[in-house]
Amino acid sequence: MTEKSSAVWPRDFVWGVSTSSYQIEGAAREDGRGPSIWDTRCLIKGRVANGDTGDVACDHYHRYREDVALMTDIGVKAYRFSVAWPRVLPRGRGAVNEAGLAFYDRLIDALLEAKIEPWLCLYHWDLPQGIDDDGGWVNRDSAGWFADYTALVARRYGDRVKRFATFNEFSVFTLFGYALDWGAPGITDRASHLKAIHHVNLAHGAAVDVLRSLVPGVSIGAIHNVQGTQPESDTPENRAAAELLDEHWNRAFPEPQILGRYPPQVGRAMEPYIQAGDMARICRPIDWFGLNHYGPIFAKADPNTTWGFAWGSAPADAPRSDIGWPIYPDAFRDLLIDLGRRYRLPIYVTENGCGGNEVPDANGVVEDKTRIGYLRAHIGAMNEAMKAGADVRGYFVWSLLDNFEWGSGYTIRFGIVYVDFATQKRIPKSSARWYAGLIEGTESV
């Protein structure tokens, strides 16, 4: 057997790319879009590198046709994007913004014309500021507001979009936003964090019911970040920190949503906020498990944080990406096998990718060998997991474009297409060519 034939992909395997609204759209004050909690956070000194904002980002709002053409060149079959809630409902509820809705009509139609399947994620962290002003996810009513927003999106696009995800990375935006002040809205308080977790879970369950009732033939998933969590060093304190971080990071959302119960420590703390019937409202049948994965994480005890845990360092000899994230493809393989057994749902890898700082060389070429190495190793590990029985049905690279990387602003690049933010010129990197070859079958892992 030649090396090229070692990985075999099912014919209908979904190869895609992912993005999110706030990270690429720009046009933050155009055509009636309302502010989101990330617009607000970007204005707070010290929260985002260089004071960067998503005001312009990749200007995708105006350049979406060019971006769809880039996807066509790469040959992807699917595009995962998110709808900006404040673009379609500027205050989060009440008045609808027709111009905002029309933007996603244009995008979806352009994708379908290019034979690229739209995968629509309802929430990738840009909560309308108006909802936050009313308490945001800490207010139990937020679940109903999210269900109403979901109904608007489902009615408008459900004739053309069949793949819906409720939320992106539940635990990241709740932990960072309500316990650690690493993300919007920047609260650091146990009770607020617990309520946010529970209300987001309720919002997920409500949205699943809305989608199921309004979109014929719908296929519904939720997107979870799952990353094996290890103690930075083997002390009882660090082991306890890793165990609690694991509950918050990996289990506080998929377990109630799919298995109908919270993990033990989170569940005990959650008791005051759970009302009769809630667990059944959260645990609604879904069709697939969306996995975002970059690499394992390391925990250490830190009494000064909201929950007593903090991020520890990976072992000094760990292989790392250019931005210092540890690279462990074997952990990805083992995780896929484990998740399949735990949750018994088909898995789509909805994000995987590698951050760097690469720039064009003198000839205008962007060589990103580290990213190609990362993708090759992880896609290879995924294939091994599939051979071992994991039901993985698709893979989306994060990300199509270099974009606004939250607290890191524009300092970290995850795209397989380079973006010059001064001119908005796009340059496919060598990883884009490599990924195109993999999809076409001329490259292998």
Catalytic sites, residue numbers = 169, 351
Residue 227 structure tokens: 């990353």
Q: Pick the stretch among 42-50, 166-174, 264-272, 334-342 that binds ligand FCB (CB under 6 A).
A: 166-174
The reply on whether position 431 binds ligand FCB by CB under 6 A is no
Residues of this chain, 83-122, that bind ligand FCB according to CB under 6 A: none
End-to-end CA distance of the chain: 14
> Cα-flanking dihedrals φ and ψ of residue 401, to 5°?
-120, 150
Q: At what angle do helices 329-343 and 369-387 cross, to 10 degrees?
A: 40
As a whole number of angstroms, the distance between CA 82 and CA 76 comes to 17
Q: Pick the stretch among 79-87, 164-172, 300-308, 418-426 that binds ligand FCB (CB under 6 A).
A: 164-172
- Closer residue to ligand FCB (CB): 129 or 292: 292
CB of 429: closest distance to ligand FCB in angstroms?
16
CB of 390: closest distance to ligand FCB in angstroms?
22
Q: Which of 406, 418, 434, 435 binds ligand FCB (CB under 6 A)?
A: 406
As a whole number of angstroms, the distance between CA 138 and CA 178 comes to 9
Spell out a b/e string for 53-87, using b for 16 or more CB atoms within 10 Å of the CB, else e.
bbebbbbbbebbeebbebbeebebebbbbbbbbbb
Site mask for ligand FCB (CB under 6 A), range 335-374, x = bound: ----------------x-----------------------
Count of residues of this chain found to bind ligand FCB when the rule CB under 6 A is applied: 12
Other beta carbons within 10 angstroms of residue 304's beta carbon come to 6
The reply on whether position 398 binds ligand FCB by CB under 6 A is yes
Residues of this chain, 280-309, that bind ligand FCB according to CB under 6 A: 292
Q: Pick the stretch among 88-96, 141-149, 167-175, 188-196 that binds ligand FCB (CB under 6 A).
A: 167-175
Tell me the Ramachandran region of residue 59: left when phi exceeds 0, alpha when psi lies from -120 to 50, beta otherwise.
left
> Cα-flanking dihedrals φ and ψ of residue 110, to 5°?
-65, -40
Q: Which of 232, 246, 368, 405 binds ligand FCB (CB under 6 A)?
A: 405
Q: What DSSP assignment string belongs to 127-139?
A: -BHHHHHTTGGGS
Q: Which of 21, 53, 150, 168 binds ligand FCB (CB under 6 A)?
A: 168
- Report the interface residues with ligand FCB, using CB under 6 A: 20, 23, 168-169, 172, 225, 292, 351, 398, 405-406, 414
